[in-house]
Amino acid sequence: MILQRCFALILLAVCITLAVMAWPYQAAFSYEPVGPRAYPLLMLGLMGLGLLYLAIRPTPIVRKDDEPELDRESLIKIGACVLLLLVFASTFESLGFILSSILIGIPMARLYGGRWLPSVAIISLMSIALYLLFDRTMDVPLPLGLLDVLEN
């Protein structure tokens, strides 16, 4: 119980630190109705409320029998997911949304038991569809990166 509360309080401190860092941010222009400042502050506020609840709740969170163990294999998968997300963040601008999504999506699908051909086909189609949805339909500009030559 004490370990759960300490973990929640540490993450709450991280949320507060990130909120303090995000508070003075002012974008030169705003292309979204909510804006680039409000969204992270809203997410950090909601996370902070959830973590505060976890820190002061009266009963501990108990693992049920049907939940999987947090064993070595699960921790390796979690670490691989974090590593893949860091690669995605570092390649997002240079490779563009579509290529970086494919680069990260296929290993992620394989990590959780996907077969090669369906993983490649579905991730590729999803990357293109999400790019078109965000860039064309919702007017949220996403970088094309190396595929920039395909645009008009």
At 40 the pLDDT is 81
Instruction: Output the pTM of the full model.
Output: 0.63
DSSP annotation of 67 reads S
* 107/102 Cα distance (integer angstroms): 9
At 106 the pLDDT is 94
Q: What are the pLDDT digits (tens) for 89-120?
A: 999 888 989 999 999 999 999 998 999 999 99
Q: Which amino acid is at 87?
A: V
Measured over the CA atoms of residue 148, residue 91, residue 19 and residue 42, the dihedral's sign is: positive
Chain centroid to CA 68: 22
* 64/151 Cα distance (integer angstroms): 51
Tokens of 16: 């507060």
At 70 the pLDDT is 72
pLDDT of 122 over the 90 cut: yes
Q: Please compute, for residue 51, the number of CA atoms within 13 A of its CA located in the half-sphere on the CB side.
A: 17
Chain centroid to CA 26: 23
Nearest to 23 by CA among 15, 12, 32: 15
Res. 82 pLDDT band, cuts 50 70 90: very high
* 51/62 Cα distance (integer angstroms): 17
Residues 2/52, Cβ–Cβ less than 8 Å: no
CB neighbourhood size of 98 (10 A): 22
At 29 the pLDDT is 62
Q: Which amino acid is at 132?
A: L
Q: What are the pLDDT digits (tens) for 5-28?
A: 888 899 899 999 988 888 887 766
At 86 the pLDDT is 93
